[in-house]
Amino acid sequence: MASDESEDKALRATALKTAESILIARQRAERELAAAHEALERKSQELQQQREWFAVTLASIGDAVITTDTQGRVSFLNPVAEAMTGWSSAQANGEPLERVFQIVNEETRQPAENPVKRVLEQGKIVGLANHTALVSRSGRELAIEDSAAPIRDAKGAICGAVMVFHDVTGRRQADKALLEETRILELLNATGTAIAAQLDLQTLVQTMTDSATKLSGAAFGAFFYNVSGPDGKSYLLYTLSGAPREAFERFGMPRNTPIFDPTFRGEASIRSGDITRDPRYGTMAPHHGMPKGHLPVRSYLAVPIVARSGEVIGGLFLGHPEPNVFTERSERLILGMSAQAAIAMDNARLYEAAQNEIRRREQAEAALQETDRRKDEFLATLAHELRNPLAPIRQAALISKTPAATEAQKRWSHDVIERQVHHMALLLDDLLDISRVTRGTLELRTEMTELAAVIDAAVETARPSIDSKRHALSIEIPDEPLILAADPLRLAQVISNLLTNAAKYTDPQGRIRLRVEQESGAIIISVTDNGIGIPAEALERVFAMFSQVKSAQDRSDGGLGIGLALAKGLVDLHGGAIEARSSGIGRGSEFIVRLPARLLKQSKPAQTIGTPDAAPLRRRRLVIADDNEDAAESLAALLRMDGHEVTVVSNGRQALTTITAMQPEIALLDIGMPDLSGYEVARQLRDGPRGQNLTLIAITGWGQDRDKTRALEAGFNHHFTKPIEPDALLELLRADPPQN
């Protein structure tokens, strides 16, 4: 039993020990557990604190943050991200990122690539993507810049992604505004330079229209020149920008409608957000805004361009099919540019005027040189033409002086001399006439004249030229007498000139037709030939002084190239016009004279021209005074042959004494005598008792009107130019009394 007891005791002691050690172990374990628990608690608290701190941090930063798991499902949105996307963090939790974070490319409007996708695929940080717009849950768009990065666990494995982004709308707008500002400045600068440097009006106006269209953001621009049509209502389209010409031409020029009118009157600029609804213009009939068929204009801006002088040079019109395109600022810009353009246009117009003036002067100078050249040519021809008759005259004189000369030879010699002198006299007459016409001193002796008589006289003058070349002349003239106010001698001179030319410039046996027609208010005299014709480019020129057509020069037959100039001058003095026509070289010519028909029809003309009925001869007593003995003696011989009694003296003093002693009816005095001039002799005679009933005739080499006036003032009754036309003098002597 005792052993049992001891065994039992030992057992109990072991058990106790075991229990004790278990207890100790348990206590230790409990302590360890408590410590572990405490550590865990501490850790968890730390973690919580960290999370809170993290959340607060994320909430505090200005950028938006979104995190996702590895599948790209949203796990967190900070408040900025919530505000920008329109999703709360709770709502978004577990949603695919593409739903919560919708982005498009600002320019292409296509969905943009989500950066998180690339982060999860490639495990790399993805940098900023530009020009991206975030579309919020409500559809609002915000320009953003974003970036994303992978989230890695302690072991470096990817356990999600974080995306950071922020709103750059403000900055984007500022950038845009800056860009626009730079563009405008560059444009203004370029326009200013172009405008200042440009002197060509067309280019300038085009530059201005283009720049204004760009500056204002218009779809099309037009610049209209302020030119009014015959009705005063249309304007010439000048330059366009942004629209084809047809678009404008379809509806014609802007008219004086209430829209365009203020601009063309130079009033203030007009800007309308929507011209079709503008109460100022939209309601006005008939167009209600823009005329029908006009380009689709709603936004409208019109600015007048006013020159320094205040003159409205034109109007600049800008349009856009969208409403409200033009701002107050664009209006100010266009106004500024217009002011600059107006000055430039003024300058260009001045420059153009100066250029025109230079051109005009150059032309005038060229014309002057041409006249000069023609004058030189003329002088050469003149010298030649004046020398030409001298040889036959000298020879004829020699022949007639030779004692052996027969009567027939003498007559022939006299004929030659007479013909040549006549020719020279005609040349000199023409020369004097043309000089009077050019100086405007030629006066017409206008009287009621019968045209038929003028034609007869002209034909008679031209007859020798026509007959010598055996031309056939036909004359067509109305039966009834045509009486017109004209200088009959001058008119006959014009027509005979045309006839002589027709004869000269037509090969022998040609046809010349002279026709007189009456048209309402005008008499038309035409001379047509089938001669060498006139090249088209010379038709105008033939009326210029000293002008001869080169190809016709060998036929001019001693002409000086002044006949037609004189004809034109005389026709002009009659208030008429002369014109040359020809179908070209070898195709004949036609000269047409139009005279205003200040004509009367009456049965008998006031005066006819031609040879008057010969008056009965009266024997006169005459004194001739001339220091040129030959001239005096030959004239005396001529007068004596007509039965007059003539005394010749050779100076002024002799003239005075002889006239006083002889008491002639008529005295013919040369003006240029060495001792006493003809004027002086006349004055002294008129002052004395003998000079009262005397007819005084001046004979001078000077036949200008001024000379005639001087002679009349000195007391002469008549004036004859050397060489005297004997017929005219003899006719005067036949008249009774001879002093008119």
| Binding residues for ligand ADP (CB under 6 A) | 501-502, 505, 529, 531-532, 534, 542, 547-549, 552, 556, 559-565, 589
**Minimum CB distance to ligand ADP, residue 478 (Å):** 24
Q: 93: burial class by Cβ within 10 Å (0-12, 13-18, 19+)? A: middle
Contacts 24+ apart (CB under 8 A), 193-200: 195/340, 195/341, 195/344, 196/340, 196/344, 198/344, 198/348, 199/347, 199/348, 199/351, 199/352, 200/348
* DSSP one-letter string for 411-435: HHHHHHHHHHHHHHHHHHHHHHHHH
For the bound state, the minimum distance from the C-beta of residue 570 to ligand ADP, rounded and expressed in Å, comes to: 12
| Closer of 112 and 567 to ligand ADP (Cβ) | 567
- Closest to ligand ADP by CB, 532 vs 636, is 532
In whole angstroms, the minimum distance from the beta carbon of 371 to ligand ADP comes to 15
Residues 622, 646: contact at Cβ < 8 Å?
yes
Q: How far is the CB of 544 from ligand ADP (least distance, A)?
A: 9
Kindly tell me which of 586 and 610 has the beta carbon lying closer to ligand ADP: 586
Smallest distance from ligand ADP to CB 376, Å: 16
Least Å distance, CB 548 to ligand ADP, is 3
| Residue with the CB atom nearest ligand ADP in the bound state | 559
- Shortest distance, CB of residue 558 to ligand ADP, whole angstroms? 8
Residue 255 or 374 with smaller CB distance to ligand ADP: 374
Nearer to ligand ADP, 119 or 532 (CB): 532
The minimum distance between CB 381 and ligand ADP, in angstroms, equals 9
What's the rounded Cα separation, in Å, for the pair 592 and 601?
Answer: 23
Tokens of 274: 């929507």
Which CB atom, from 549 or from 632, has the smaller least distance to ligand ADP?
Answer: 549
Sheet strand arrangement including 483-486 = 447-450, 483-486, 599-600
Nearer to ligand ADP, 20 or 507 (CB): 507
Of the two residues 346 and 377, which places its CB atom closer to ligand ADP in the complex? 377
Tracing tokens 């009006």 back to the chain, one arrives at: 201
Q: C-beta of 374: minimal distance to ligand ADP in Å? A: 11
The secondary element (H helix, E strand) that includes residue 521 is none
- Find the shortest distance in angstroms from Cβ 451 to ligand ADP: 21
| Nearest to ligand ADP of 281, 505 (CB atom) | 505
CB of 556 to ligand ADP, least distance (A): 4
CA-based torsion, 146, 147, 150, 151: positive or negative: negative
Rounded to whole angstroms, the Cα distance separating 538 from 70 reads 101
To the nearest 10°, the Cα dihedral for 550, 554, 559, 565?
A: -20
At 472, is the secondary structure helix, strand, or coil? strand
Q: What single-letter amino acid sits at 583?
A: S
Residues 6+ apart with CB under 8 A from 108: none
Nearer to ligand ADP, 302 or 564 (CB): 564
**Residue closer to ligand ADP, measured from CB, 531 or 691:** 531
Q: What angle do CA 54, 59, 65 make, to 5 degrees?
A: 90
Q: Which is nearer to ligand ADP, 512 or 632 (CB)?
A: 512
Reference 312, options 382, 375, 226; nearest CA is: 226
Q: Return the closest-CA partner of residue 92 out of 68, 123, 111.
A: 68
Task: Spell out where 372-420 has E strands.
Answer: none
Cis before 230? omega within 30: no
What is the DSSP secondary structure assignment for residue 265, as one 8-state letter?
Answer: T
Alpha carbon separation from 264 to 145, 305, 591 (Å, rounded) = 52, 9, 50
Rounded CA-CA distance 6/607 in Å is: 201
**Between 105 and 556, CB nearer to ligand ADP:** 556
Identify the helix (H) or strand (E) that includes residue 229: none
CA diameter of the chain: 231
Q: Peptide bond before 392: cis, by omega within 30 degrees of 0?
A: no
Residues 6+ apart with CB under 8 A from 165: 63, 64, 81, 84, 134, 144, 145, 146, 147
**Least distance from C-beta 469 to ligand ADP, angstroms?**
12
Report in angstroms how near the CB of residue 420 gets to ligand ADP at its nearest: 18
222 or 427: whose CB is closer to ligand ADP? Answer: 427
- Least distance CB 422 / ligand ADP (angstroms): 17
Please state, in angstroms and as integers, the Cα–Cα distance from residue 183 to each residue in 190, 214, 317, following that order.
Answer: 10, 10, 22
Q: How far is the CB of 562 from ligand ADP (least distance, A)?
A: 6
Closest CB to ligand ADP among residues 116, 542: 542
